[in-house]
Amino acid sequence: MQAVTWQGKRRMSVESVPDPELQRATDAIIEVTSTAICGSDLHLYEVLGPFMDKGDVVGHEAMGRVVEAGADSGLAVGDRVVVPFTISCGSCWMCERGLYSQCETTQVREHGSGASLFGYSRLYGSVPGGQAEYLRVPHADFGPIRVGDELPDERYLFLSDVLPTAWQAVRYADVAPGESLAVFGLGPVGQMAARIAHFLGATVYAIDPVRERRTMAARHGIQTFDLDDDAIDSIRDATGGRGPDAVVDAVGMEAHGSPVGKFVHQAAGLLPDAVARPMMEHAGLDRLAALHSSIDLVRRGGTVSLSGVYGGMASPMPLLTLFDKQIQIRQGQCNVKAWIDDLLPLVEDPADPLGVDDLVTHRLPLAGAPEAYEMFQQKDDGCIKVVLDPRI
Ligand SMILES: NC(=O)c1ccc[n+]([C@@H]2O[C@H](COP(=O)([O-])OP(=O)(O)OC[C@H]3O[C@@H](n4cnc5c(N)ncnc54)[C@H](O)[C@@H]3O)[C@@H](O)[C@H]2O)c1
Ligand SMILES: [Zn+2]
Ligand SMILES: [Zn+2]
């Protein structure tokens, strides 16, 4: 079959690889009908590169039809399913508590990591991913979400990651109707987090440097700000001078523009020079721009909810500010299946209350993946979300 493979720093290519086969009775094989490129895939370009092997099949947002069903998979050939990006058993101690992304059956203990993920490096189990014609789904007796035939793939596809990730971010932010939430980053995750919070009755402010991403969010009732504006001051002014009740960071370590600003320099300035300088130089402080801005903006006693992914052991955090402002931080890989009962009725609602129909900007054949990665990373051609269709 054809599959998108990692070949090196910023190099993805479409290659012929062996078709996947059933390995266990709980496995299923699906023919992929839609598979998306995610902001998390961009981390494989550089930061997670050292944990990738040449030829690894990437991709973790996929849906399709079951073409082979293991005897204990609970699925039947022909079932239409969405595949969560986290691989969980559904019955271990963690899964019983809804912490599916910490599944003790699929944890990658060798690297001290949580549940295995599709297409996401040795750190997460080197499981072949879903940007391919076919995908082997382990633990198919628990993971896949069976869906009906009436609605197009785009309505369901984002149940694999973007929607539950955004839903978890908003739930962790814990804003009640009438309260305020700021969202950093209007990529697919930030778009959906902003819209979900708006749908649940919060007042939502969002910041992103890319104009068409702000325009898209504005179509869904979000007040948007350019990163270059005095966004922080404007949002603080709009929230009684205190700052919003919670902030979702939907940027992560690909932060760019990176006007780290006075606040971060102040934070670093609180460290002894000899410690601060190497940190500034080596720990990629610029990559923490959105996180530091979130901590700066949130009101005292508020919550910062991180869905953006950060890496590195030496990331300096302004602990004094976190303590003094009494900030709670909640984060983690999404526990996908925990949120599907909330989300499925919304994506199937003919009125499309979360605006799922307004997210995909590009639908391309699998062969277009290398250019699509480039376009998504560079944000060229108005690219916000790419769906690859292996059948065109
Ligand atoms: N927790 C999870 O389970 C989970 C799941 C999916 C994605 N993620 C993470 O969520 C993050 C976002 O994913 P995405 O697909 O939306 O990616 P994306 O790269 O499309 O979105 C990031 C957005 O942030 C904007 N941005 C960059 N620097 C900024 C700054 N300093 N301030 C404000 N905005 C800034 C960019 O313009 C872009 O629109 C990534 O880090 C991804 O790895 C986490
Ligand atoms: Zn993803
Ligand atoms: Zn489990």
CB 160 within 8 A of CB 62: yes
Q: What integer is the mean pLDDT of 356-360?
A: 98
Q: What integer is the mean pLDDT of 171-187?
A: 98
Q: Is 264's pLDDT higher than 90?
A: no
Region of 243 on the Ramachandran plot (φ > 0 left; ψ -120 to 50 alpha; else beta): left
Q: What is the pLDDT of residues 37-89, one digit of tens each?
A: 999 999 898 778 889 999 999 999 999 999 999 999 999 999 999 999 999 99
Atom index in ligand 1 nearest the CA of residue 213 equals: 39
d(CA 90, CA 121): 22
Cα(65) to ligand 3 centroid in Å equals 24
> Which pLDDT score is estimated for 312?
66
CB 197 within 8 A of CB 204: yes
Residue among 14, 306, 374, 360 at smallest CA distance from 168: 306
Cα(180) to ligand 2 centroid in Å equals 26
Chain-centre distance for alpha carbon 347: 18
- In this structure, which residue's CA is closest to atom 10 in ligand 1? 308
What's the mean per-residue pLDDT of the chain? 92
Higher pLDDT, 368 or 229: 368
> Which pLDDT score is estimated for 47?
77
Range in 52-66, 309-323, 342-356 with the lowest mean pLDDT? 309-323
Tokens representing 336 are 């996908």
Q: What is the pLDDT of residues 121-165, one digit of tens each?
A: 999 999 999 999 999 999 999 999 999 999 999 999 999 999 999
Atom index in ligand 1 nearest the CA of residue 331 equals: 1
- In this structure, which residue's CA is closest to atom 30 in ligand 1? 290
Write the single-letter amino acid at 346. Answer: L
Cα(251) to ligand 1 centroid in Å equals 3
Q: What integer is the mean pLDDT of 302-326?
A: 87
Cα(271) to ligand 2 centroid in Å equals 35
> Which pLDDT score is estimated for 309?
85
- In this structure, which residue's CA is closest to atom 26 in ligand 1? 185
CB 48 within 8 A of CB 113: no
Pairing label, strands 134-137, 62-69: unpaired
Cα(76) to ligand 1 centroid in Å equals 36
Domains of the chain, by residue range, sit at 2-160+334-389, 163-331
Tokens representing 1 are 């079959």
Cα(345) to ligand 1 centroid in Å equals 26
Q: Is 259's pLDDT higher than 90?
A: no
> Which pLDDT score is estimated for 123?
93
- Rounded to two decimals, what is the model's pTM? 0.93
The response to whether residue 184 sits with its C-beta less than 6 Å from ligand 1 reads yes
The response to whether residue 183 sits with its C-beta less than 6 Å from ligand 1 reads no
Q: What is the pLDDT of residues 190-209, one digit of tens each?
A: 999 999 999 999 999 999 99
The response to whether residue 70 sits with its C-beta less than 6 Å from ligand 1 reads no
Range in 213-222, 295-304, 315-324, 346-355 with the lowest mean pLDDT? 315-324
> Which pLDDT score is estimated for 286?
56
Q: Is domain 2-160+334-389 classified as CATH 3.90.180.10?
A: yes
Q: What is the pLDDT of residues 279-291, one digit of tens each?
A: 433 444 557 889 9
The DSSP call for residue 301 is: T
The response to whether residue 161 sits with its C-beta less than 6 Å from ligand 1 reads yes
Share of residues in the chain with pLDDT > 70 (%): 91
Q: What is the pLDDT of residues 7-38, one digit of tens each?
A: 998 999 999 999 999 999 999 999 999 999 99
Higher pLDDT, 219 or 268: 219
Q: Is 271's pLDDT higher than 90?
A: no
Banded model confidence at residue 377, pLDDT cuts 50, 70, 90: very high
Residue among 290, 299, 296, 264 at smallest CA distance from 279: 264
Higher pLDDT, 285 or 169: 169
The response to whether residue 256 sits with its C-beta less than 6 Å from ligand 1 reads yes
Architecture of domain 163-331: 3-Layer(aba) Sandwich (3.40)
Q: What is the pLDDT of residues 248-257, one digit of tens each?
A: 999 988 765 4
Transcribe 219-259 into DSSP letters.
TTT-EEE-SSSSHHHHHHHHTTTT--SEEEE---TT--S--
